[in-house]
Amino acid sequence: MKHSNYLILFTVALGAMMALPSAAFAGLLGAGATVQPFSVAPVNGKVTPIAFEYLTAGGTYITSPVSLASAVSYPLQAATDTTAQFTNTQIIIQNYFAGPFCSNGTSVGAACTDSFNGFLFNFTGEDITGAAIDPATPANFQPATFGSHTGLQLLSPNSLQIDLTGDSPAAYPSSGSTLYIDLSFGSSNPNPPPTNVPEPASLGLLGIAMLGLYGVRRGRNQLV
């Protein structure tokens, strides 16, 4: 192959590799990712959002989105009630209170007449395309779907709601006290990945570019 052809091949391959879009990061954690969680409980028959309590030395409430730059765990409502942990692909809810998710504190399942009792998670910078209860979740900690209850709902790529009305899970750390929500993601998540792994297409184009560079160098050596 002539020197000029190798140079053209090298230039085209290098340009194509640079033009490839970088792979989007799909996951909850990353720079720019936040969550603003709410506890939603029935008050006078109406659904009212109440900010989750994030306990510090003095006790404060989450009033603005909290960074999810790394795996974190936050108390929900109070330290003795429920906590939520966020990993890259899961929301893990753990129950710390031996009592049902019902405003009267005693009714279980359909016997609870609450209009809604559960949690709402509002994220930023996400592209969530699906949410499902992981098989590891016990039978007594499943989303409520009786009557008008909506169970687990993905409201938008940045909003997730789970109805736990009437659930009566065990108190942590007993078996049956943890609910796992598995998340799936699209390809437009803007959060950067923790590490960049080259795509097969990028590696292939890099190989072609290196081959072209080798041809150019070989052609020069032959001209000397």
**In terms of domains, do 77 and 16 share one?**
no
**In terms of domains, do 46 and 15 share one?**
no
Domain residues for the domain of 163 are: 34-185
User: Does residue 46 form part of some domain?
Assistant: yes
User: Does residue 179 form part of some domain?
Assistant: yes
Q: What is the pLDDT of residue 20?
A: 45
User: Does residue 190 form part of some domain?
Assistant: no
Cα(89)–Cα(103) distance, integer angstroms: 31
**In terms of domains, do 165 and 74 share one?**
yes
User: Does residue 154 form part of some domain?
Assistant: yes
**In terms of domains, do 159 and 140 share one?**
yes
Greatest C-alpha distance within the chain? 91
**In terms of domains, do 180 and 206 share one?**
no
**In terms of domains, do 19 and 98 share one?**
no
**In terms of domains, do 69 and 14 share one?**
no
User: Does residue 29 form part of some domain?
Assistant: no
**In terms of domains, do 42 and 141 share one?**
yes
**In terms of domains, do 11 and 90 share one?**
no
Res. 135 pLDDT band, cuts 50 70 90: very high
Using the CB atoms, write b or e for 82-112: b if 16+ within 10 Å.
bbbebbbebbbbbbbbeebbbbeeebeeeeb
Q: What is the pLDDT of residue 162?
A: 93
Kindly report the CA angle at 119 between 117 and 123, in degrees rounded to 5? 160
Total domains present in the chain: 2
**In terms of domains, do 68 and 172 share one?**
yes
The pLDDT tens digits of the residues spanning 78-94 come to 555 788 888 999 999 88
Res. 12 pLDDT band, cuts 50 70 90: very low
What's the residue count for the chain?
A: 224
**Mean pLDDT: which of 32-36, 45-49, 160-164 is highest?**
160-164
In the chain, the percentage of residues whose pLDDT exceeds 90 is 27
Res. 191 pLDDT band, cuts 50 70 90: low
The answer to whether the pTM exceeds 0.75 is no
What mean pLDDT comes out for the span 174-183?
93
User: Does residue 139 form part of some domain?
Assistant: yes
- pLDDT over 70 (residue 143): yes
**In terms of domains, do 82 and 18 share one?**
no
Return the HEC string of 77-129.
CCCCCEEEEECCCEEEEEECCCCCCCCCCCCCHHHCCCCCCEEEEEEECCCEE
The pLDDT tens digits of the residues spanning 93-119 come to 888 877 888 888 888 999 998 888 888
> What residue has token string 């209850």?
149
